[in-house]
Amino acid sequence: MKTIEKVLVLLAAVTVFSAPVLAETRVGVVDTVRLMEEAPQAKSAQADIETEFAPREQELVKLQKSIRGLEDKASRDGAVMSEKQSGKLEREILSKRRELKRTQDEFRDDLNIRKNEVLSKLQRQMYEATVTLAKEKKYDVILGQGVIYSNKSVDITDFVLDKLKAQAKSGK
């Protein structure tokens, strides 16, 4: 009986003494998905990637058109071609399809690697902006992904976005 009483007294003491600490704790919430969509760094990075990979994408389109042209020629002129010509055309189509597949795979791999590099950099910038803001505004805890509900008063996403926009303007 005495042990139970001691545990209850201890729990009561912890509750009484921790209540003021909890009341003074400043908590903020950041919507990282929204940051990724709205941050100028994210928009700029997306435009840079599109510019960087546009020439290779155009080459893929050109190669696809070339294959389509050869396939059209085979179906249109196949009946009047010699067996040797027809076989040569079929081998050329097959070769171009293999080249297209290889080129598409390389393109996709390179694009994914580049996107991951950019994403990593963006996440680091978002993290640094959030931590800087939290220290400036004296937040004790900042929550990100996994928050089921938060009152708008604790959502600091707009402030982090403002900080990211300022950094983008200053070139950081």
Confirm whether 130 is domain-assigned.
yes
Is the separation of the CB atoms in 114 and 52 below 8 Å? yes
Confirm whether 10 is domain-assigned.
no
Whole domain around residue 87: which residue ranges?
24-170
Under DSSP, is residue 147 helix (H, G, I), strand (E, B) or coil?
coil
Confirm whether 9 is domain-assigned.
no
Look-up of token digits 């009047």: 80
What is the number of structural domains in the chain?
A: 1
**Residue 102 has which token pair?**
């290889």
CATH of the domain at 156: 3.30.910.20
Confirm whether 85 is domain-assigned.
yes
Tell me the CA distances in angstroms from 134 to 38, 96, 125, 128, 166, one per residue in order.
20, 56, 14, 10, 16
Confirm whether 19 is domain-assigned.
no
> Which segments within 65-153 are labelled E, that is strand?
141-143
Confirm whether 41 is domain-assigned.
yes
Q: Is the model's pTM score more than 0.85?
A: no
Which residue, 53, 50, 55, 48, is CA-closest to 121?
48
Confirm whether 58 is domain-assigned.
yes
pLDDT tens readout for residues 120-172: 999 999 999 999 999 999 988 899 887 767 777 788 889 999 989 998 888 76
